[in-house]
Amino acid sequence: MVTEKHVRSRLATPKPASMAKNEGTEDNDIFKIHKWSGVAAWSWDISVDNCAICRNHIMDLCIECQAKLNENDGNDKDKKMDKDSCTIAWGVCNHAFHLHCISRWIKARQVCPLDNTPWEFQKAAN
């Protein structure tokens, strides 16, 4: 039986050159990596994952874009909505919202929905 201490010592100890080439020695490796495929996904570096106005994930479509998508049902290709058409807006307070959501909010109240400070756009991106 191989103990955890034994496994750690074998992994941490560098092998002599002759063992690294497996020249006349028994293969004592615990495992070998034959192939490695890296997978990555990107997301905005923000502290809040959801839009506080529509409660959808900030990387998803806002409710306005989802409604337009459901109305079109993919029939009208000119009006087809995708994730690139739904932009994200940041305020100077570093809170992020869907641009459509915060635009509707600003018509009623000119403050950030989360901290009640006067709303000023910092940037918008998709």
Cα gap 113→126, rounded to integer Å: 21
Non-local (6+) Cβ contacts of 24 within 8 A are: 18
* 63-125 carries CATH number 3.30.300.30: no
pLDDT at position 12 is 56
Cα gap 69→73, rounded to integer Å: 6
Per-domain boundaries in the chain: 63-125
Cα gap 96→112, rounded to integer Å: 10
70: helix, strand or coil? helix
Segment 55-114, tens digit of pLDDT? 998 888 998 888 888 887 656 554 555 666 788 999 999 899 999 999 999 999 999 999
